[in-house]
Amino acid sequence: MKIVYNGENDGAFKDTLGATIAGLLEADKDVVYLDADLMSCIGTAKCVKSHPDRAINCGIAEANMAGIAAGLSAAGLKPIMHTFGPFASRRCYDQIFLSGGYAGNSVTVIGTDPGVCAAFNGGTHMPFEDMALYRAIPGAYVFDVTDTVVLEDILTQCKDIPGIKYIRVGRKSYKKMYEKGSTFTVGKGITVKEEGKDCAIIACGLMVAKAVEAAEILAKDGIRVTVIDMFTVKPLDEELVLKAASETGALVTAENHNKIGGLYSAVSELLAGKAPTPIEYVAIEDEFGEVGPQDYLEQRFDLTAEHIVRKVKAAIARKK
């Protein structure tokens, strides 16, 4: 796995979504793609023309879409459904939970515009709790993707993984992180920067590149940190977290999500049971979202490299 991070923007997620979904429909006749009137937002409207029987616009009715996806799975198909994050989680949660998970059906759910990425759509469209909801479904998978390379590979893997899979991903771009064509393993995080043993930052999604940036700032002060990309929030790479905890003795998590129920929770739950370690977090402080440009919102909610730097120093200060 080659890290190609250089601070530059990656391609737009929506282009990768459009191309990957079209490719999966073409490659596997059991794939059915469902959307709730948001195909034009991820470049998949063309799929209705190319695969009219398997690219289905369900209209603005997410609960029904989730139930249909479950029924399609029961008929032996591989449903992939998309809508914005809040509608892919809160709006159809009981249907995903019962018609999907409890009933033993397999559905891949893509929730776009996680957290502050909802920007100008504002608080109604800004999910800070989607990972918490999906983590609470027994056996479900939760991925907060890092870049388009992770997205393409994980989405392709998901179609053949039994159970409920939730992929949260922006529509615009994050920073470029991995070499094109890289492959990833469910349940295995990636050490993207291994500078030293002062602290480890465990980040996901939007925050991975910011963690790398923070590590570079810290290095100038002589603080050496390791950065882990935990795109696989569930199943969590427990081995990698425990290794980082034992090697550094201080951890910081960073996520574009409420501090309740997401990556910070997952890592804390593990550490509390197996290796109590000083841990700090960068996450939403249990607040609702609001409207604004994404860079404003990142400042407003402290989702910045500078804030990660502060939290790393706080974590190190707590070491015995």
Partner 1 sequence: MLSSDKRKELQKFALQIRIGAVEAFKARGFGHVGGSLSIADALAVLYGDIMKVDPANPKWEDRDKLVCSKGHAGPAIYAALALKGFFPYEDLKTLNQPGTRFPSHCDRNKTPGIDMTTGSLGQGTSQAVGLAMGDKIKGRKCRTFLIVGDGESNEGQVWEAAMFTAAKKVNNLVWLIDYNKKQLDGYTEDIMDMGDMRAKFEAFGFEALSIDGNDLEQLYDALTKEAGDKPIAVILNTVKGKGVQEVEDTVSNHSMTMTEEVYDRWLSELRAELEALG
Q: How far apart are the first and last CA of the chain?
A: 35
* Residues in the chain, total: 320
Q: Which among 55-63, 156-164, 175-183, 199-207 is the span making contact with partner 1, rule CB under 8 A?
A: 55-63
Residue whose CB is less far from partner 1, 30 or 195: 30
Of 282, 287, 288, give the one whose Cα is nearest residue 302. 282
CA distance linking residue 204 with residue 142, whole number of Å: 11
Residue whose CB is less far from partner 1, 160 or 221: 160
Residue whose CB is less far from partner 1, 72 or 133: 72
In the region spanning residues 204 to 263, those forming contacts with partner 1, defined by CB under 8 A, are: none
Of 177, 210, 239, give the one whose Cα is nearest residue 312. 210
Q: Which among 98-106, 170-178, 241-249, 299-307 is the span making contact with partner 1, rule CB under 8 A?
A: 98-106
Residue whose CB is less far from partner 1, 32 or 215: 32
Our finding on whether 69 is near partner 1 (CB under 8 A) is yes
Q: How near is the Cβ of 295 to partner 1 at its closest, in Å?
A: 38
Our finding on whether 53 is near partner 1 (CB under 8 A) is yes
Our finding on whether 37 is near partner 1 (CB under 8 A) is no
By CB under 8 A, the count of residues binding partner 1 is 30
Among 25, 39, 68, 233, binds partner 1 (CB under 8 A): 68
Our finding on whether 163 is near partner 1 (CB under 8 A) is no
Residue whose CB is less far from partner 1, 53 or 320: 53
Our finding on whether 73 is near partner 1 (CB under 8 A) is yes
Our finding on whether 103 is near partner 1 (CB under 8 A) is yes
Among 4, 61, 217, 291, binds partner 1 (CB under 8 A): 61
Can you read off the two tokens belonging to residue 133? 């909801």
User: To which residue do tokens 């465990």 refer?
Assistant: 202
Question: In this structure, are residues 60 and 34 in contact, taking their beta carbons and an 8 Å threshold?
Answer: no
Q: Find residue 294's DSSP bridge partners.
A: none
Helix (H), strand (E) at residue 282: strand 279-284
Chain center to CA of 68: 24
Among 19, 63, 186, 314, binds partner 1 (CB under 8 A): 63
Our finding on whether 48 is near partner 1 (CB under 8 A) is no
Rg (CA), the chain: 19
Our finding on whether 270 is near partner 1 (CB under 8 A) is no
Our finding on whether 80 is near partner 1 (CB under 8 A) is no
CA distance linking residue 280 with residue 251, whole number of Å: 6
CA distance linking residue 35 with residue 190, whole number of Å: 31
Residue whose CB is less far from partner 1, 77 or 275: 77
Residue whose CB is less far from partner 1, 43 or 100: 100
User: To which residue do tokens 């882990």 refer?
Assistant: 228
Q: How near is the Cβ of 94 to partner 1 at its closest, in Å?
A: 6
CA distance linking residue 283 with residue 128, whole number of Å: 9
Question: In this structure, are residues 39 and 57 in contact, taking their beta carbons and an 8 Å threshold?
Answer: yes
Q: Find residue 253's DSSP bridge partners.
A: 202, 281
Query: Which residues contact partner 1 (rule: CB under 8 A)?
Result: 32, 53-54, 56, 58-59, 61, 63-77, 79, 94-95, 98-99, 102-104
